[in-house]
Amino acid sequence: MPNALISTDAGILFILAANASLWFFLEKRTGWKMFNFVPPLIFVYVLPAVFSNTGLISNTSGVYDWMGSNVLPMFLVLLLLNVDIKATIKVMGKGVWVMLIGTLGVVIGAPLGYMVVSNWLSPDSWMGYAILSGSWIGGTGNMAAVQNAIDPTGEATGSLFGLAVIADNVVYLVWLPLLLNMKRLAPIFNKFTGVTDEHLSNMKKAADEMIVEKGKPAMRDYLYLIMLGMGVTWLSVMLSELLPTFDNSTGFVAEVLGPALQPSTYKILLVTTFGILLSFSPARKIPGSHAIAMALVYLFVSRMGAKTDLAGLSGEAIPFVVGAYVWIFIHGAFILGAAKVFKIDVHTAAIASAANIGGAASAPIVASFHDERLVPVSILMALIGYAVGNYASLLLVVPLLKLVAG
């Protein structure tokens, strides 16, 4: 709003940071059971939307573009520093393949779920499903990254991001209890998949030997992380401008792959690639990266809320969520089929799905309920989801949805 009460960059950043801080403070201090069903993410997103739509803060400030250009690639790099593919494979073995096949289920389920409800949605609503795919393959960070890649200003997808957040949380209310209660079906599930006692024993032994503690971060560690985040951002922006686009072309490639072949998309994919490469370097041992990254993720979600036009949320929420439920059960079928093929236990299957759908926030919850020794590796599996999320969403889900949308 042009006549908003707070329109300065510093004032808007304060409101966004204070909003994100408030809900995590309340979650920790009060222990309200409400947060078991409605996680802080939904409040972190909704409150700035109310503020910007009622004139408390401006929704046109240049600080939003600055955050899209700098904060988002920064948290992607810091998240990916924590990926440890070798350790994850050592503990989970073929369970990593189950997770990746679950990812394939998300990729295929997106256009199918959208196809079922597209007649009740606006023509551009496919972008909302693309945004949601980022969350369901990786996590909240990927969700923001996909939105920024296909719509850097947020003008066209502000309300669609809101629909994606709503669907994400409504489905989460059903899917998370389902994954938790799978533990009770362990004997039946393990008999169905043919998992051996030796497999379970080896997995738990490897989990006991796993060490993930990096130590307490020092001041210099924060400087290292800022340097890496900004350096990767700068390099990615420069390289993204050199790659080809199809803005002035026609035909199948331009229409279907065009949204995935733009400088903004290239930047996200390059940041992801460099982040993964750094995870194989000594930079992976720098402490504090995950905590800073998640703080920036929620600050960015606040930013997305402030850019949302609440009027755009009306009328489409129900069909959007229905399509999301069709989508999630397609993912579940892929997880079940993969568990059978690879002879995987119920704990690994549940964690694999949680690593996709819930990301680093939900995978440890599922792991701790099934077997606390699997908590560290569940986080690593979720981080692998972060690593593949941007590639799968932008290079596979976006073209498929665009094709279905016509």
Residue 155 CB partners (closer than 8 Å, separation 6+): 307
One-letter amino acid at 47 equals L
CA–CA distance, 305 with 57 (Å, rounded to integer): 11
Q: How many domains does the chain have?
A: 1
CA–CA distance, 289 with 25 (Å, rounded to integer): 21
Indicate whether 292 belongs to any domain. yes
How many separate helices (H) and strands (E) can be counted in the chain? 21, 0
Residues forming a β-bridge with 57:
6
Indicate whether 36 belongs to any domain. no
Structure tokens at 265: 């998309």
Indicate whether 145 belongs to any domain. yes
Q: Do residues 56 and 355 touch, judged by C-beta distance below 8 A?
A: no
Indicate whether 143 belongs to any domain. yes
Indicate whether 124 belongs to any domain. yes
Query: What is the span of the domain harbouring residue 132?
Result: 83-297+313-405
Indicate whether 11 belongs to any domain. no
pLDDT in tens, 358-404: 776 678 778 877 876 776 677 778 878 888 888 899 889 999 998 89
Residues forming a β-bridge with 40:
none
Residue 201's CB is within 10 A of a number of other CB atoms, namely 10
pLDDT in tens, 34-50: 776 677 877 887 888 88
CA–CA distance, 371 with 392 (Å, rounded to integer): 29
Residues forming a β-bridge with 192:
none
Query: Residue 353 carries which DSSP code?
Result: H
* pLDDT, mean over the chain: 83
Indicate whether 218 belongs to any domain. yes
pTM as predicted: 0.73
Higher-scoring residue by pLDDT: 38, 133: 133
pLDDT in tens, 324-344: 999 999 999 999 999 999 988
Q: What band does 73 get if pLDDT is binned at 50, 70 and 90?
A: confident
Structure tokens at 184: 């009770």
Query: Residue 322 carries which DSSP code?
Result: H
Indicate whether 266 belongs to any domain. yes
